[in-house]
Structure 1
Amino acid sequence: MKADDVVHYLQNNPQFFEEHAEVLTSMVVPHPHGGRTISITERQMLALRDKNRQLEGKMGELFQHGEENDAISEKMHRLAVGLIATRSFQSVLHTLHFHLRDDFAVPHVAVRLWRRPTECEELPEFADVSSELQAFAEALVQPYCGSTGGFETSSWFGEAATHVRSQALIAMRQGGGTTGMIALGSEDGERFYPTMGTIYLQRIGEMASAALLRVLR
């Protein structure tokens, strides 16, 4: 008889140990953390304790993630309220820069819009952007996170450009079309990495797009 046969038999005959209770009292198994043997009942108790420790660890992780999400949600709320209160193009930019820097600890923020309204003065936000980058932004399904290598966006960070090691690129859209891009930069090469979650970055892009549409209309 193979071990699988024994397991299968016991699973299909749960009354076995009720009919042969003396077997439980006489069986011994190796201790999971040592060379000595222990009773099967003690072994079950140790297994339950190990399982409880694992569950406690997972619960701790869930609580931590919940607290982190609550903190981010609060920051997103403050940004949304700030953008709603803006009344000019410059105030939108100031609010966006302020909250991303102070609340989200993003040291470098740059915005580019593809078209400049006739009533707006020439500002860095309306500087020319290559057709390749515009096509890249149009094709983005979610924000890009990763290296600055090979992107003209690295030059958007001015004097800090040579120190920026990772970036997030967020396409701004209105009415189904892409109208611009937000670039977030960090000297930390692991701050924005390819496999990170991007839902909050996407929400920032949506809020900024709505605020800019309102003030530039």
Structure 2
Amino acid sequence: MSNEAKKQAPTAVVDDSLIAAYLEENPDFFDRHTDLLQHLSVRHQTQGTAVSLVERQQQVLRQRVHQLEEEITELMITARRNEELFRYFSELYVKLLQSKSLAEVMDSLQQTFSEQLQMPALTLKFFDSPLELESQFTFAADTHKQLLSKRFNEDTIYLGRLTTDEQKLLFPSETIASVVLLLLGEKGELGMLAIGNHDAGHFEPAMDTLLVKQLQVLLSQILPPLLQHHEAR
């Protein structure tokens, strides 16, 4: 073949992806070519030194093991936290079922959320109640209706942030950054439980609501008889 013909002949191109695909499809390649392991080396990204493929593989495996250990540790911490939350809520349910007055309900809620879960603010309010309830359990006039129309279009639970006016309505003496709001009653007509936290990211819309939904159902069942008892006194 002439020099000119050699120049015009197509040059075979083997890119990284083809090599990687071949090695992936032939995992025994280095078993069949053990001599290559003695000559090939990989530059260590952090140390700047050349190491053999075997050494590099060991380093990668150690790093992966360390990463998996960290992930397992995080999962164990989350599991312990979830177990703790479940225990607190289970104890709260029992206390609420044993409550004989609104004051006892509030004491149980405060003990769980303020003392055990470190939630700095909690409010229980009733809507359009004919009872002469203490001011802590009622909204002034119709001040809550705008809050209801804005935060509860499709659900009876709201998680997230509030405006400054909404915060003052629910927590006049606390600066609250995020809340969970639970409408109480079969259709949310009875009232609202509001729990607040100083951390803006503590309550997020994507959070799981299983435990607070159970609390919502329980309060919706036990509060009407307690309100009637309060009225009869």
Give TM class, smaller chain: 0.7 to 0.9
Which ranges of structure 1 fall in alignment gaps of 5 or more residues? none
SS in 2 for 1:110: strand
* Contact 2:178/2:200 (8 A) holds in 1: no
Matched, 1:83 2:123: no
C-alpha distance in 1 between matches for 2:219 and 2:201: 21
1:87-138 Cα shifts (integer Å, max 9, x gaps)? 223322332233222222223221111132x5x4332213334332233354
Shift of 1:52: 0.5
1:133-163 Cα shifts (integer Å, max 9, x gaps)? 2333542533232244231x523434x1xx4
Equivalent position of 1:111 in the other structure: 124
Which ranges of structure 2 fall in alignment gaps of 5 or more residues? 1-13, 229-233
C-alpha distance in 2 between matches for 1:184 and 1:140: 20
SS in 1 for 2:90: helix
SS in 1 for 2:117: coil
Equivalent position of 1:157 in the other structure: 171
SS in 1 for 2:160: strand
SS in 2 for 1:183: strand
TM-score normalised to the size of structure 1?
Answer: 0.82
C-alpha distance in 2 between matches for 1:212 and 1:143: 20
**Bigger-Rg structure (1/2):** 2
Matched, 1:216 2:227: yes
Q: From 32, 37, 46, give the equivalent of 2:45.
A: 32
Q: Is the alpha carbon distance of 1:155 and 1:100 closer, same or farther for their aligned partners in structure 2, counting shifts above 3 Å?
A: same
* Contact 2:127/2:190 (8 A) holds in 1: yes
Instruction: Trace 1:1-217 onto structure 2 (pairs within 5 A).
Output: 1-116=14-129, 118=130, 120-124=131-135, 125-127=137-139, 128-130=141-143, 131-136=145-150, 138-139=152-153, 141=155, 142-151=157-166, 153-158=167-172, 160=173, 163-186=174-197, 188-190=198-200, 192-194=202-204, 197=207, 199=209, 200-216=211-227
Q: Is the alpha carbon distance of 1:5 and 1:108 closer, same or farther for their aligned partners in structure 2, counting shifts above 3 Å?
A: closer
SS in 2 for 1:33: coil
TM-score normalised to the size of structure 2?
Answer: 0.77
Shift of 1:198: 5.2
Give the partner amino acid of 1:164.
Answer: T
Give the partner amino acid of 1:190.
Answer: A
Q: Please tell me the root mean square deviation across aligned C-alpha atoms, in Å.
A: 2.5
Question: How many positions carry a matched residue from both structures?
Answer: 210
* Contact 1:148/1:166 (8 A) holds in 2: no
C-alpha distance in 1 between matches for 2:148 and 2:162: 18
Shift of 1:204: 3.3
* Contact 1:110/1:156 (8 A) holds in 2: yes
C-alpha distance in 1 between matches for 2:58 and 2:42: 13
C-alpha distance in 2 between matches for 1:74 and 1:23: 59
Q: Is the alpha carbon distance of 1:209 and 1:40 closer, same or farther for their aligned partners in structure 2, counting shifts above 3 Å?
A: same
Shift of 1:205: 3.0
Q: Is the alpha carbon distance of 1:104 and 1:196 closer, same or farther for their aligned partners in structure 2, counting shifts above 3 Å?
A: farther
SS in 2 for 1:139: coil
What percentage of residue pairs aligned between the two structures are identical? 20
* Greater displacement, 102-111 / 67-76: 102-111
C-alpha distance in 1 between matches for 2:163 and 2:187: 27
C-alpha distance in 1 between matches for 2:27 and 2:196: 62
